[in-house]
Amino acid sequence: MRVMAKWIFYVVVLMIPMGLGAQVEFTAKVSKKKLGLNERLRIDFEMNQDGDNFEPPSFEGFRVLGGPNQSISNSWINGKRSYSKTYSFFLAPLKKGVATIGQAAIEVDGERYKSLPVEVVVTEAVEIPKDGNNADYLASENVHLVAEVSNTNPYLNEAITVVYKLYVSNQVSITSNWREIDSPKYADFWSQNLDQKGQLQIYEGQYRGEDYRYVVLRTAVLYPQKTGELSIEPLTLDVPIDVRSNRRDFFGRFMTTRVNKTISAGRRTINVKPLPLENRPEDFTGAVGFFDFDSSISRSELDAQESLEYSVTVRGEGNLKLFELPKPQFPNAFEVYEPARNDKISTRTSGMRGSVSEVYTLVPQNQGTYPLPPLSFSYFDPNLERYITKTTQDHIVSVINGPAQESALQNNERADTNLVVVDTDRFSYIKLQSDWLARNPAPWFGTWAYWRWVLGLLIFLPLWFVLSAIRNRYLGDTASRDLRKRKRLIAQYLSQAKAEQQNPTAFYAALERSLHLFLKAQLKLETSGLSKENIRALMTQRTLTQDAIDRLIGLIERCERARYAPTTAVDVQNDYNEAQEVIALINNTKR
């Protein structure tokens, strides 16, 4: 019995190290526990058995520059197997302080294992040793990312250009496999990036007095929208750089070492000057640049109820998308539709250039001669540092045919108020009854004419009764009658829009005019200068359904958006069908 117990003890003792050797180890190791803000950190997640479904931590407080890079080591020494599997990451710290790298996870044989968290201390940026043989030092000294700003002290709404250039010396080489880590941010700026067409072109230039090659990575045009100090957040890249080492290969050529460097253009500060208050015109709306201004009319003579177009145009170079055009005042005898805006703008390195215009459709209601007064437009010239005002010429519109103006009608009515007294004996010499008719009161009874009249009445009366019955039945069908009226109404107002369905821009302009004319005719609304809010309020007073109001306002808004946004044939057809339904719905509800 004692012998059996002794053997069992030996077996257990021998099994303990075997069990310990089978334990899973999953650890996190960092290249350094303390590093500068401008240094990089390597972290390895290592396991002694093969695992699956590796989950890295979030790396909060760090930017991942590379990884995961996987490596496996499998060896036999004195008959004993040694195995390790490693996932490696390269990190760059984002801020100073104590940063914690969280737990990673792995599955081994269905069991889930986690590494322990690791703390590292991030200090101020440290000075990199100036070692001519150090690859990191050579890479940082020979590759530079620069943000060149055309003007660091502009006026409010004055264009500036930011050009991002990557300079590379002849001592190192790079490929196009760099990776953008952070994009520049333009808070408080209106911005537009200019596309780099095709492959990047390599230029020869100088950086700090030395010969370099460079490429233009990005160009942005900015218009500051606030005064004071504004910041441009930097562009940051991760760039693989090939640095020549002192080692040579078998053939005697110098070997290269690849180094991944994080390069930033640096934060740029722009000091924006406010526009001067002295001599600022009252009609100034924020235009900054160099502009011309004019107005025009499509015709100067027309009849009432015909239309003409009045155009206001600003052309030149400056913040064309960031100010309002002057609003003209028109005579009360004109029905005015919301203007159609037409922008022809291109953005270059010097800023926006082109023209913006608003075209008003005018419909005179009465005949007469109407002057359209001149308009003024003011802008600030940053080169001359003063305001400039330009004025258009006035226009005269002659409405030839049409109803007279109300003032003329009132004068005629006052002229007609003088009563004319007629002498009743003036026309007494005219005989009111013929002597022959007095002697022959019924000369045509029994004649052929008399019998023709009798025969005609006998034929006409039955026919009249039949036609009356058909008419009464036709008028008695209220639903059919209402349907026919709706179809005539829709055809009346949407005929022009239907004809322009192949041209979305002209279609939506015609559709908007049709809706305004419908509101004026059916709901007695004056549409000159009428906003959507007023339309909604007036339609609510007429006890129209909320559904009809919402659908009409939505249709008007889509017409307005269609001036600036592309549309398809499907959108045009859907909006035309919607207009038919809305007109029919309002026409039925307005009783």
Measured distance CA(262)–CA(65) in Å, rounded: 8
Judge if 492 and 574 occupy the same domain.
Answer: yes
| Whether residues 169 and 255 fall in one domain | yes
454, part of any domain: no
Enumerate residues 6+ apart whose C-beta is below 8 A from 72.
Answer: 83, 84, 85, 86
Q: Is residue 471 part of a domain?
A: no
Q: What burial letters (b/e) apply to 528-565, b meaning 16+ CB within 10 Å?
A: bebeeeebbebbeeeebeeebbebbbebbebbeebbee
Here the CATH number for the domain that contains residue 336 is 2.60.40.740
The answer to whether residues 258 and 350 belong to one domain is no
For residue 86, give every residue at least 6 positions away whose Cβ sits within 8 Å of its Cβ, in sequence order, or none: 44, 45, 46, 47, 70, 71, 72, 73
| DSSP 8-class letter at 288 | B
If asked whether residues 34 and 157 sit together in one domain, one would say: no
Query: Looking at the structure, do residues 151 and 267 belong to the same domain, yes or no?
Result: yes
Instruction: Give the whole-angstrom CA distance, residue 398 versus residue 302.
Output: 7
β-strand 143-149 against 97-101: which pairing, if any? unpaired
Residue 297 lies in domain: 289-399
Regarding whether 93 and 68 lie in a shared domain, the answer is yes
For 176-195, the pLDDT digits (tens) are 778 888 888 898 999 999 87
- 115 and 140 in a single domain? The answer is no
Let me know whether 327 and 203 are in one domain: no
Same domain? For 215 and 315 the reply is no
Using an 8 Å Cβ cutoff, are 219 and 267 in contact?
no
Q: Does 161 lie in the same domain as 105?
A: no
| Bridge partners (DSSP) listed for residue 229 | 271
Domain assignment present for 366: yes
Last residue of a domain, one of 272, 300, 315: 272
What six digits make up the tokens of 389? 């005002």
pLDDT value at residue 427:
43
Instruction: Report CA-CA distances (Å) from 219 to 128, 164, 215, 233, 345.
Output: 31, 6, 11, 14, 18
Does the reported pTM lie above 0.75?
no
Residue 429 falls inside a structural domain: no
Residue 438 lies in a domain: no
User: Would residue 470 count as lying in a domain?
Assistant: no
Q: What are the backbone angles phi and psi of residue 586, rounded to the nearest 5°? A: -70, -40
End-of-domain residue from the set 123, 151, 168: 123
Reduced to 3 states (helix: H, G, I; strand: E, B; else coil), residue 280 is coil
**pLDDT by position in tens, the chain (length 591):** 555 555 555 544 444 444 444 588 889 999 888 888 878 888 999 988 888 888 999 888 888 877 788 878 777 666 677 788 888 888 888 888 899 999 999 998 888 899 999 999 998 877 666 555 677 778 888 899 999 999 999 999 999 999 999 999 988 888 777 888 888 889 899 999 987 766 788 899 999 888 999 999 999 999 999 999 999 988 888 888 888 776 666 665 667 788 888 888 888 999 999 999 999 999 999 999 999 999 999 999 999 999 999 999 999 999 999 999 999 999 999 999 999 999 999 999 899 999 999 999 999 999 999 999 999 999 999 999 999 999 999 999 999 988 886 544 444 444 343 433 444 444 444 454 545 444 555 555 667 777 777 788 788 788 887 887 777 666 555 555 555 555 665 666 677 777 777 777 778 777 777 777 777 666 555 554 456 777 777 777 766 777 777 888 888 888 877 766 666 777 778 888 888 887 777 776 654
Single residue among 351, 379, 399 that ends a domain in this structure: 399
Identify the pLDDT of residue 443.
Answer: 57
Q: Are residues 164 and 255 in the same domain?
A: yes
In the DSSP assignment, the letter for residue 382 is: T
Structure tokens at 479: 């639903």
Indicate if 492 and 530 belong to the same structural domain. yes
Q: Is residue 423 part of a domain?
A: no
Cα angle value 580/582/585 (rounded, 5°): 110
Residue 380: which residues within 8 A CB-CB, separation 6 or more? 155, 275, 284, 287, 288, 386, 387, 388
What's the domain count of the chain? Answer: 4
Three-state secondary structure along 239-253?
EEEEEEEEEECCCCC
Whether 451 is covered by a domain: the verdict is no
